[in-house]
Amino acid sequence: MNLDSRRALRAFVASVALSLIFASTAGAQTGSDASVTPNYFNPAISVIGNLLAVGGQNRYEGLPNFSLRETEVGIQSVVDPYARADFFLSFGESGVEVEEGFITFTSLPSGLLVKAGRMRMSFGKTNTLHLHTLPWPDEPLPVVNLLGGEEGWVGTGLSVSSLIPLPGDTFSELTLQSVRAGTESLFNSDKRGRLAYNAHYRIFRDLTEAANLDFGISYAMGPNEGTVPPHEGPVANGDTRLAGVNFIWRWKPLVTASYTSASIRGELIASRRSRPGLREDSTGWFLSGEYQLDKRWFAGVRIESSDRADDASKRDDGQALLLTFWPTEFSQLRGELRRRRYDRSYAATEVLLQLQFAIGAHGAHPF
C-alpha cells in the first residue's frame, strides 16, 4: 500500500469515527429530551418529615415523648397557562388529612389572583405558615387559644387578592376570603347559607438596603352555633369576630460571605364570641426575635400571652428560648426550652427537640 492509499485509509477511518461520535452525542441528547419532556408534565412531589421529642411534664397539652408529628407530602404543578394547582397532604400518626388543596387562577383581568379549594386563611402571618416553615417547633399561644387550636384556621372556599397601588416602592395587597364555617371551636354552623369571611390587608416595604418591614391587619367574622349556657338546651345562633395586627421586621446586610441576620415578629389578636346571654372578649399576643450567630446557627426568644376564647377569665402566658442548626438547606435541628403558665396558676417547663428533613422538589412558600 503506497503513501497515498495509507493517507486515504486514515482519512476514511477518521471520518467514520467522527460520524459515530456525533451520532452517539445526538442520540444521548435525544434520549435526554425524551426523558425530560414527559417529566415536564408531571407534578413536582416532595416529602417533609417533622420529628418531635418532648421532655418535662405538662398536664394541659400532654405532648408525647416521641412523635412523628407530621409528614407533609406536597404535589404541585401548572394546570394550564391560566392556572396552577397545589396540594399538601398531612400524614400524622393518627391519620391523614388535606392540609391544603387549591387551584390558583393567575391570568385574570385587573391583576386579580383567585384561589378555590381548601387553604390556610390569611389571618395574620403565623396562621398562613405550614408547620415546617414556623420559626419555632410549636404554635404561639394566641394561635392555639384564639384561632382554633394547634392547626390554626383552615377553610374551604374562595379567596380573591388584588394589588393596591401605593406611592413609592411599596407592595400593598388586599385579600378577601369566604369559606365554609366548619372549623371546630372557631366558626361552625350546620346551615348552608352561613359562611365565614376574612379580610387581610398587607403592606411590605424596604426600609433600607438591608432592612424591610412586613405589616398586616386582619378582620374575620362568622357563625358560632352552640348550646345555650350552661351547655344545655337548644342550639343558639351566635357569631365570632376576630381582629388582628401582625408585623415582621427583617435585617440582612448586603455583604458577601456575611452570615449575620436578624428578624423580629409579633401578632396581636382580639376575639369576641357572642351568643344569647353570653359574650366573651379575649385577647392574645406574642413577640418573637431571631438572630443569626453563624452560617448555620440561629438563636431566638419568644414571649406570649393569651386569654382563652371560650373563657376570657382564664389566661395563659409563656416564654421560650430557641437554638436552631441547619446542616444543609434540606435538614434542620431545633431545640426549644419553654415555660408556660396556664390559667395564671399551673406552670410547666418543657424541652422540645425538633428534626426536620425534606426530599423532592418543594416549591417556595409565599414570602
Confidence at residue 39, expressed as pLDDT on a 0 to 100 scale: 58
Predicted TM-score (pTM) of this structure: 0.84
Helix or strand or coil: residue 16? helix
d(CA 316, CA 16): 82
Cα angle 355-211-176, degrees, rounded to a multiple of 5: 75
Question: What is the grid cell recorded at 292?
Answer: 443569626
b/e map 254-292, b = 16+ CB within 10 Å: eeeeeeeeebebbbbbbbbbebeeeebebbbbbbbbbeb
Which contiguous run of DSSP H or E holds residue 11? helix 3-40
DSSP state of 126: G
Distance CA 270, CA 350 (A): 28
- How many whole angstroms separate alpha carbon 301 and alpha carbon 322? 6
CB of 145 within 8 A of CB of 139? no
Q: Cα separation of 151 and 121, whole Å?
A: 11
How buried is 90 (Cβ within 10 angstroms: 0-12 exposed, 13-18 middle, 19+ buried)?
buried
Which tens digit of pLDDT belongs to each residue from 268-321?
Answer: 999 999 887 788 999 999 999 999 999 999 999 999 999 999 899 999 999 999
| pLDDT above 70: percentage of residues in the chain | 85
Tell me what pLDDT residue 94 has. Answer: 80
129-145: average pLDDT: 94
For residue 236, the model assigns a pLDDT of: 61
pLDDT of residue 111: 87
Look at residues 278, 284, 330, 275 and name the one whose alpha carbon lies nearest to residue 303: 284
Q: Please list, in sequence order, all residues whose beta carbon lies within 8 angstroms of the beta carbon of residue 152, skipping any fewer than 6 positions away.
A: 120, 121, 126, 127, 139, 143
Burial 319-339 (b: 16+ CB within 10 A, else e): ebebebeeeeeeebebebebe
- Reported as a single tens digit per residue, the pLDDT across 2-27 is 444 444 444 443 443 434 333 333 34
Residue that the C-alpha cell 425534606 belongs to? 358
| Cα–Cα distance, 128 to 200 (Å, whole number) | 12
What is the mean predicted confidence (pLDDT) over 158-184? 91
CB 335 within 8 A of CB 34: no
Give the pLDDT score at 3. 42
187-202 residue pLDDT tens: 888 888 889 999 999 9
Q: What is the pLDDT of residue 151?
A: 86
Q: Tell me the residue length of the chain.
A: 367
Three-point CA angle 11, 15, 17, nearest 5° = 115
pLDDT value for 38: 52
Q: What's the pLDDT tens digit per position in 52-99? A: 999 998 988 888 999 998 899 999 999 989 999 999 999 887 888 999
**Phi, psi dihedrals of residue 144, rounded to the nearest 5°:** -65, -45
Mean pLDDT of the chain: 85
Distances (CA, A) of 322 to 54, 130, 141, 258, 351: 14, 19, 16, 22, 10
- Name the DSSP class of 120: E
The DSSP bridge partners found for residue 265 are 248, 288
Is 122 in contact with 242 (CB distance < 8 Å)?
no
